[in-house]
Structure 1
Amino acid sequence: MPRDPFDYIIVGAGSAGCLLANRLSRDPAKRVLLLEAGKRDNHPWIHIPVGYLYCIGNPRTDWLYQTAPEAGLNGRSLRYPRGKGLGGCSSINGMIYMRGQARDYDNWARLTGDDDWSWERSLPDFMAHEDHHRRDGGADPETGHNGRFSDLHGHGGEWRVEKQRLRWDVLEDFATAATQAGVPRTEDFNTGDNAGVGYFDVNQKNGWRWNAAKAFLRPAKSRPNLEIWTESQVERLIFETTPQGATRCAGAVVRRGGDAMTVRARGEVILSAGAIGSPQILQLSGVGPADQAKAHGIEVLRDLPGVGENLQDHLQIRAVFKVKGAKTLNTLAGNIFGKARIGLEYALRRTGPMSMSPSQLGAFTRSDPQRPHANLEYHVQPLSLDAFGEDLHAFPAITASVCNLNPTSRGRVHLTSNRFDDAPEIAPNYLATDEDRHVAAQSLRQVREIVSQPAMAKYEPEEWKPGPQYQTDEELARLAGDIANTIFHPVGTAKMGREDDPMAVVDTRLRVRGIEALRVVDASVMPEITSGNTSAPVMMIAEKAARWILEEA
């Protein structure tokens, strides 16, 4: 049995939880417990970059969620991967390091009334744990770009950011085609303005995936004041009434080794279970919409209608083009000999297709010239397949996936029962607004415009999906519903906000409204989704939260 109480109990060992465990356990006088429902991150495919193909959809590393059937996707239900195990989603994601745009954080500051969330005040929290491949200020030695990188990137932190270890001619030519269509080149997507076309930086180290467990738990695992429990799932939180009459979170009921046990915290309980897990735990504990709790026979502790609402995600539309005379992964990995060569290259040099992130070339553009900022993100890949996890096509092809960075559709995460081991209902409500459907149609037209540029002509590109016969807004929006898929960026389900915002779940220091000693620190607190991939912003949020927790203690 544990020696109760702990000073801090952190629920979820993903990107936020691992960083918090590292920061809060630096003080040897504070006892920290990190709870993770999954297993250790010793599954070999976690660490090989291309291993995401074998981790997503694998019960060893994925919660195996599905969305509810989506009207905007013409009734389809999507696989909804969430990382399960030490490292959380950082063990199965695309490894892309992307902060988003400065306006995202300035908008958070405006929405919450707290300037600490502005880009200027958030940049130091990105840099605090960063170990970026670009060194020093002045010109970058490889590109000659004179960008004062020392003012924008950190060095020596735990979170390694590297250049990708590959090159594909067809991607180079796609990038040139993008410039011919008016998209500028960029050497760095993380300056606060990510408009342009270039290669994504990735969270890898010498050709291996660099997850949050390696970055933040390995340096701290020898600390006697840090306990890490795997295969330990929280059933619900427990509460007590203080002498002053306030409600305080006192710990959690944990299912471990088939038995339920109670762990207690003298300091704080911190939910870092992600945009699906954190609202589910709150709702199971009676913190959330009162009508939902009553419907499932749960005693209402605190009626917070925003818990589980405001779900936002990035939906990507995958356009596939057959090409001629191009080296693509479809042809390289099309037989056992090609796969053997790929495996040998990775074994000897840690390069080649096995070192690839799911997306290599990126672009951020405007869906129309009247937009004041980039609102589309491209993930361009030298491969194609019918659906994620299925076999590559037998013909050479590229995929240009494009997503609306700022969707106006909002979804929800609701309980399906009062059992902790029953998956919640996940209803993202994709393409529910006229604006989102219009942007989807515009984005497909823009993909066609780029591929039609002179730089791509030698490949004689042929649109295979969705197909050139579809031209009107209505046709393209309907086709987007048929072929679009999530890129796994759920946020917003326990959003922070002003005191007078009835849907705000936490305040600007991420404390749950009306309950002492309980915070949420993960993607669920974002009031609006960032303009890019969400792993890096989650770590920035955790860096801020760790500082506030220690200051308040």
Structure 2
Amino acid sequence: MTQTTYDYVIVGGGSAGSVLANRLSDGGQSSVLVLEAGRSDYPWDLFIQMPAALTFPSGNPFYDWRYESDPEPHMGGRRVAHARGKVLGGSSSINGMIFQRGNPLDYERWGADAGMESWDFAHCLPYFNRMENALAADPDDELRGHSGPLVLERGPATNPLFQAFFAAAQEAGYPLTDDVNGYRQEGFAAFDRNVHKGQRLSASRAYLRPEFGRKNLTVLTRALVTKVNFKGNVATGVTYRRNGKTHQVTAGEVILAGGAINTPQLLQLSGVGNASHLNSLGINSVVNLPGVGENLQDHLEVYIQHACTQPVSMQPALDLWRYPLIGLQWMLGRKGPAATNHFEGGGFVRSNEDVAYPNLMFHFLPVAVRYDGQKADAKHGYQVHIGPMYSDARGSLKIKSTDPTVHPSMLFNYLSTDQDRREWVEAIHVARDILGQSAMGPFNGGELSPGRSVQTDAEILDWVARDAETALHPSCTAKMGPDSDPMAVVNPLDMTVHGTRGLRVVDASAMPYVTNGNIYAPVMMLAEKAADLIAGKAPLAPQHAEFYRHGVSPLERGGSVPAAAAAVAAKG
């Protein structure tokens, strides 16, 4: 057994952990240890580095923890698979590389809760900007960052199917927008992506690997943390397993950054959680925090697939015999079908007039294939991914064993609420309306999935229950909030776990509500802001920039009219 001391021990070398390791080791004054349970993200590993290879790591035990839900009662009792990155960079090393901040009103919602005022959009925007280098954004756009470590390339979306889809969206009455991460999220556009020069740009590649030479930064992979060690309610370090041996390390601060599944699991294993549940497993309670593992949220999605009548889709690139040439083209020049994630465009819309901002997200692909690589039975095809963005369904996560290698029980309660079911029906109708417009006519070879047999609201909900997959956005299981909130876990002012000292949580589990888009960007922003709070630095000054609100002009709110708003007004 070995024992070492560090100023900061970060549990998890994923998205949030990479940011924290970079920022907290900056300047060389604080010693930082990162413990990542997965393997290294080797530069030569094509399945990680090649954008189009994203279907291979999912479900593969070398890259994926392969979690799954409990039988979902509103989905016919089936279990829903949840891929989570088992590698340095975490899920940013195996995800779809889509960069979406969410809507500014997501953060206004965060900031409206008691004690959460410092997490409204004005306080979050400077941290989005600090981390971004948005290559396609206007250099004068105050809503986008231009010199951060996250280089963002805009999807070219030049395939004629993208252009037809954008035209169809307009025919259906939905606008285009210049930038879903800028002034106006609502509408359709090419997407920002974590792809740079034809290669995946994970959190590890952007933040962690460039700093491997720092003497005060140590990164250990294949190091499974099994427990946070406490003296009273003070976290003193962690116990971890590596290479068949058990180690202990002491720390001035323990920071959990394992994600919305592993973090509440580790808290519970360490005695922080619902005391009655922990006692039933023989775990002594350190702090009774009933909110640990509760408030579980996610996005569910389906694929609406069409056959394509013209030979313009990327479907032929899925033929196995083409793989060697496509791979060689990528290895020699980072070009060709393998150099893109294919999630190059989509959009956000409101499915009804009761919502203030978009509640549906579309990803359009010029190919018909599932996330696991299963392709549609068509020579050419295309598809949209569609699903509601802020369902009021809530789930929970509970450990069922004291063995840290046993996956916890997870129940998401998908399709369990009236709102959720209503918006799912609306989502399918909206998607079909767009795909049925005349602009898609020259390419429309008929709907492959779900097909003509699914028409009524009941049939739609039955199909969703049978076919939907997670969009891989589990979150909110250790939510931020003041200690006056009995279900809050994390202090929003410094990221400490309520009732403890020396223990903090910085990852998707700390989000109070899931945002309306892919959650990688919000997690990175949260980690950037948390790094300042943990280091005792003055937070960046809030940036009060105007953003689009449906039906309300900047002048009606007493604000100025920024250039982006004027451009939107000019387009109508």
The TM-score normalised by the length of structure 1 is 0.93
Larger mean Cα displacement after TM superposition, 115-124 or 471-480? 471-480
- Whether 2:25 is the aligned partner of 1:40: answer no
Q: CA deviation at 1:370?
A: 4.0
**Residue in 2 that maps onto 1:493:** 477
Residue segments in structure 2 that go unaligned for 5+ positions in a row: 539-572
| Distance 1:541-1:2 versus aligned 2 partners, 3 A rule | farther
- The residue correspondences of 1:406-421 to structure 2 (distance < 5 A) are 406-421=390-405
Larger mean Cα displacement after TM superposition, 217-226 or 279-288? 217-226
- Whether 2:102 is the aligned partner of 1:93: answer no
Q: CA deviation at 1:387?
A: 6.4
**Residue in 2 that maps onto 1:21:** 21
RMSD: 1.8
Aligned residues of 1:66 and 1:426 also touching (Cα < 8 A): yes
Q: Measure the CA separation in 2 of the matches of 1:295 and 1:168.
A: 57
Amino acid at match of 1:255: R
Aligned residues of 2:155 and 2:345 also touching (Cα < 8 A): no
Aligned residues of 2:156 and 2:190 also touching (Cα < 8 A): no
- The residue correspondences of 1:78-227 to structure 2 (distance < 5 A) are 78-134=80-136, 137=139, 148-149=140-141, 151-164=142-155, 167-191=158-182, 193-227=184-218
Amino acid at match of 2:57: C
Q: Measure the CA separation in 2 of the matches of 1:397 and 1:310.
A: 38
| Distance 1:394-1:38 versus aligned 2 partners, 3 A rule | same
Q: CA deviation at 1:348?
A: 4.6
- Whether 2:254 is the aligned partner of 1:252: answer no
Give CA-to-partner distance per residue, 1:256-290, whole Å, 9 cap, x none.
Answer: 1111111101x210000000000000000010011
Among 42, 50, 53, which residue is 1:51 paired with?
53
- Whether 2:275 is the aligned partner of 1:273: answer no
Amino acid at match of 1:280: Q
**Residue in 2 that maps onto 1:145:** none
Residue 364 of structure 1 aligns to a residue whose secondary structure is strand
Amino acid at match of 1:106: E
Q: CA deviation at 1:402?
A: 0.5
Q: Measure the CA separation in 2 of the matches of 1:416 and 1:41.
A: 30
Q: CA deviation at 1:487?
A: 0.9
Q: Measure the CA separation in 2 of the matches of 1:351 and 1:376.
A: 32
Q: CA deviation at 1:341?
A: 4.8
| Distance 1:384-1:545 versus aligned 2 partners, 3 A rule | same
Residue 431 of structure 1 aligns to a residue whose secondary structure is coil
Amino acid at match of 1:279: P
- Whether 2:428 is the aligned partner of 1:426: answer no
Give CA-to-partner distance per residue, 1:490-526, whole Å, 9 cap, x none.
Answer: 1000001122211101111321000001110000011
Give CA-to-partner distance per residue, 1:318-355, whole Å, 9 cap, x none.
Answer: 1112221242222343362x445533543454233212
- Whether 2:218 is the aligned partner of 1:232: answer no
Residue 122 of structure 1 aligns to a residue whose secondary structure is helix
Identity between Structure 1 and Structure 2 (%):
39
Larger mean Cα displacement after TM superposition, 169-178 or 268-277? 169-178
| Distance 1:257-1:347 versus aligned 2 partners, 3 A rule | closer
Q: CA deviation at 1:424?
A: 0.9
Give CA-to-partner distance per residue, 1:153-176, whole Å, 9 cap, x none.
Answer: 222221111123563211210111
Residue 70 of structure 2 aligns to a residue whose secondary structure is coil
Aligned residues of 1:101 and 1:192 also touching (Cα < 8 A): no
Aligned residues of 1:238 and 1:252 also touching (Cα < 8 A): yes
Residue 228 of structure 1 aligns to a residue whose secondary structure is strand
Q: Measure the CA separation in 1 of the matches of 2:288 and 2:508.
A: 21
Aligned residues of 2:187 and 2:347 also touching (Cα < 8 A): yes
Number of residue pairs matched? 535
Amino acid at match of 1:439: E
- Whether 2:452 is the aligned partner of 1:468: answer yes
Q: Measure the CA separation in 2 of the matches of 1:502 and 1:202.
A: 38
| Distance 1:464-1:44 versus aligned 2 partners, 3 A rule | closer
Give CA-to-partner distance per residue, 1:294-319, whole Å, 9 cap, x none.
Answer: 22111111111110111100101211
Q: Measure the CA separation in 2 of the matches of 1:340 and 1:229.
A: 34
Aligned residues of 1:64 and 1:81 also touching (Cα < 8 A): yes
Q: Measure the CA separation in 1 of the matches of 2:260 and 2:370.
A: 28
Q: Measure the CA separation in 1 of the matches of 2:137 and 2:106.
A: 26
Aligned residues of 2:3 and 2:248 also touching (Cα < 8 A): no
- Whether 2:294 is the aligned partner of 1:309: answer yes
